[in-house]
Amino acid sequence: MSQRRWGLLGLLCLLLAGGAAAEVYRWTDEHGREHWTGELSQVPAGKRAEALDRARADEPSRLQTFEAPAGGSPARRRSPHGELRIPYEPQGSAIVVYARLNDRVSAPFYVDTGAADVVVPSDVAEAAGIVVDADTPRETYATANGLIRQPVVSFDSIQLGEARVENVRGSVSQSLPVGLLGTSFFNHFTLQIDPAARVLTLVVNANMRGGASEMEWRERFRTLQQRLARLEAHLGDGTLTSEARARELEARRRALGEELDRLEEVADRADVPAGWRE
């Protein structure tokens, strides 16, 4: 299984996440705007009691739950075009935003464009309706603590302000107290950061499908197609092999075919043109 990278922020989070889950302190200013931070010292003195009370409550500092739309399925709509301005909260050198998952739960995320996927704490994934079991595919991730196996899932939707992306690839972490909003979300946009205004500006990237470029889609399909073609050629060349080896090769052929079928399904949901699949 291929290794996928987390950005620097993800590595730092893993180093810091060995003990209890970090608190996220929230308070509302005099203009009705909500703020959040992982450091109590960054909360205005007059708001610390409020922030502490909310942190001690039944996890309101980490999760906000929502009623799902009628029928139990999320609303299917695309992000509008034009500039989308998203306020953020600085936390040291990091950027924290709240994103809504599957129209069911809102939680804090670090903006991490060095992370390949959106990485979600296990309790947030559960609140979003994601079920992880023995049949959930896993991939190997390289982290500061070494190689770990993480469940790979798909979110029906992730919404950041007015920026909404559907069918977003993600990974579920047992270690991180706060999630990482990675490139499987941000690759749908061009991103600018205004540190003075504390605003992210997103513009829909029409040259991306499902968070990947034409070149990336072509490479995904080409790699699987070539591996499958080589294996089928080997199986058909008449080379004598043991019965056990023949069964192993046939199982690998079926697995590659199923992986290619799943990639086609993902590409269909992302409206990937046929020409990008060659």
Residue 69 has pLDDT above 60, yes or no: no
- Mean pLDDT is lowest, of 70-74, 78-82, 250-254, for 70-74
Residue 58 has pLDDT above 60, yes or no: no
- Mean pLDDT is lowest, of 150-154, 164-168, 239-243, for 239-243
Quote the pLDDT of residue 109.
93
- Which is more confident, 70 or 80? 80
Cα angle 180, 7, 16 (rounded to 5 degrees) comes to 70
Whether residue 64 contacts residue 109, with contact meaning beta carbons closer than 8 Å, is answered with no
- Which is more confident, 124 or 146? 124
- Which is more confident, 207 or 255? 255
- Which is more confident, 51 or 72? 51
Residue 145 has pLDDT above 80, yes or no: no
Residue 85 has pLDDT above 60, yes or no: yes
- Which is more confident, 82 or 108? 108
Read off the pLDDT of each residue in 209-236 and give the average, rounded to a whole number: 84
129: left (phi over 0), alpha (psi -120 to 50) or beta: left
**Mean confidence (pLDDT) of the chain:** 77
- Mean pLDDT is lowest, of 42-51, 71-80, 127-136, 148-157, for 71-80
- Which is more confident, 133 or 77? 133
- Mean pLDDT is lowest, of 10-19, 28-37, 52-61, for 10-19
Residue 1 has pLDDT above 50, yes or no: no
Task: Report pTM.
Answer: 0.60
Distance CA 136, CA 147 (A): 18
Amino acid sitting at position 79: S
Distance CA 153, CA 54 (A): 30
How many whole angstroms from its chain centre is CA 158? 9
Edge-to-edge strand list for the sheet holding 189-194: 83-87, 199-204, 189-194
Whether residue 249 contacts residue 228, with contact meaning beta carbons closer than 8 Å, is answered with no
- Domain assignments of the chain as residue spans, ordered by start: 3-24+62-204, 214-277
Give the pairing type, strands 146-160 and 138-143. Answer: antiparallel
Residue 120 has pLDDT above 60, yes or no: yes
Read off the pLDDT of each residue in 22-29 and give the average, rounded to a whole number: 64
For the segment(s) 3-24+62-204, the CATH number from 3.90.180.10, 2.60.40.10, 2.40.70.10, 3.40.50.970 is 2.40.70.10
| pLDDT tens column, 194-203 | 999 999 999 8
Residue 132 has pLDDT above 80, yes or no: yes
Quote the pLDDT of residue 77.
37
In the chain, % of residues over pLDDT 70: 74
Please name every residue paired with 99 in a beta bridge, in sequence order, or none if there are none.
Answer: 107
Residue 159 has pLDDT above 90, yes or no: yes
Whether residue 232 contacts residue 252, with contact meaning beta carbons closer than 8 Å, is answered with no
- Mean pLDDT is lowest, of 50-54, 76-80, 99-103, 229-233, for 76-80
Quote the pLDDT of residue 156.
92
Quote the pLDDT of residue 17.
40
